[in-house]
Amino acid sequence: MVVDLKSLRTDVWVDWCPGCGNFGILNATQRAIVELGIEPNKIVIVSGIGCSGKTPHFINVNGVHTLHGRAIPFATGIKIANPELTVIVHGGDGDLLGIGAGHFVALGRRNLDITVVMHNNGVYGLTKGQASPTLFRGEQTKALPKPNIQDAVNPIALALASGYTFVARTYSLNIKHYVETLKMAIQHKGSAFIDVLQPCVVYNDIYTKDFFKERIYVLEEDGWDPVVEPGTPMETIEEKINNAIQKSLEWGDKIPIGIFYMNKAVPEFGERLNTLIDNYTLIPPAKQPIAREDGKPIITNQDFRELFSRYIIRRR
Ligand code: SF4
């Protein structure tokens, strides 16, 4: 099946505010899917609540618009049930690092092969611009009556500390960079996180297009080497993680985008499951037969007990 940009559009009206950085994310996500040639029935986009949560409505692939902060658990279930699928989570910084922060950490620890795309705009745009977890203390965007009194979360450092094996940042209006970053994240075998700087043109009058235009530079153009290959000594890995954390603190006159860290040596969660469940990779839950050999459907409690008994992990 030929996948092109036209076939990935839906007839749902894209109701983001005119000029919103989310349009860049939508456009570039569709381009990345086309360039990777992934068939629409082999991809699932899962979102939580927020302006970013609408993304699955606008891309003609499988989509699930879930609960606030819960996109990652839904995506985890989908990926574990059917590892063949490409699973992408779209969430805002409020959704993923506020109410969903525990799930965000858990995904990194598992290194399950899911890509998390965070629409980072520093505000809760859908509910009129309250300070979100990435807005720095002391900043006062136009919807805030007083400057923010909470400290910000550093998403790159949190992803690294949680165990994500692909950690990157891109800018929603640099389509070329976003497309290449997303393609690499999808192709990476493990938990991938992309912090997408996304101007909210209505509620964030600090992190505007002009603000980013003057400051953003691409890490890779600076001789940066974030990749850990299998067999890399532990001291080198620690050095690369430390370097990535240091880079993530750079936020002022210059703001880096690019791959901060990519570790190809950590076993993916499916491989770990395969050591506990016989033939998990060959016959994951979604590939289980739904009928017995005589053609009768599996419908009794006993049938289900037998069907799922192989997934019950017992001490060996
Ligand atoms: Fe975009 Fe902000 Fe409007 Fe939401 S409120 S659609 S993030 S500009």
Atom of ligand 1 nearest to the CA of 50: 4
5-273 — its CATH code?
3.40.50.970
Distance 152 CA to ligand 1 centre (A): 20
CA of 75 to the centre of ligand 1 (A): 24
Residue among 46, 28, 52, 49 at smallest CA distance from 200 = 52
Tell me what pLDDT residue 35 has: 98
pTM over 0.85: yes
Rounded distance between C-alpha atoms, residue 6 and residue 30, angstroms: 9
Nearest CA to ligand 1 atom 2: 200
Atom of ligand 1 at shortest range from CA of 92: 7
Q: How far apart are CA 286 and CA 80, in angstroms?
A: 9
Cα 203 to averaged position of ligand 1 atoms, centre (Å): 7
Q: Token digits for 39? A: 């068939």
Closest by Cα among 3, 31, 14 to 175: 31
Cβ–ligand 1 distance for 203 under 6 Å, the answer: yes
| pLDDT tens, residue order, the chain (316 aa) | 779 999 999 999 999 999 999 999 999 999 999 999 999 999 999 999 999 999 999 999 999 999 999 999 999 999 999 999 999 999 999 999 999 999 999 999 999 999 999 999 999 999 999 999 999 999 999 999 999 999 999 999 999 999 999 999 999 999 999 999 999 999 999 999 999 999 999 999 999 999 999 999 999 887 899 999 999 999 999 999 999 999 999 999 999 999 999 999 999 999 999 999 888 988 898 988 878 788 887 767 777 777 777 777 766 5
Residue ranges covered by each domain of the chain: 5-273
Task: Report CA(212)–ligand 1 centroid distance (Å).
Answer: 17
Yes or no: say if 193 and 163 are a contact pair by the CB < 8 Å rule.
no
- Taking alpha carbons only, the member of 91, 163, 87 closest to residue 125 is 91
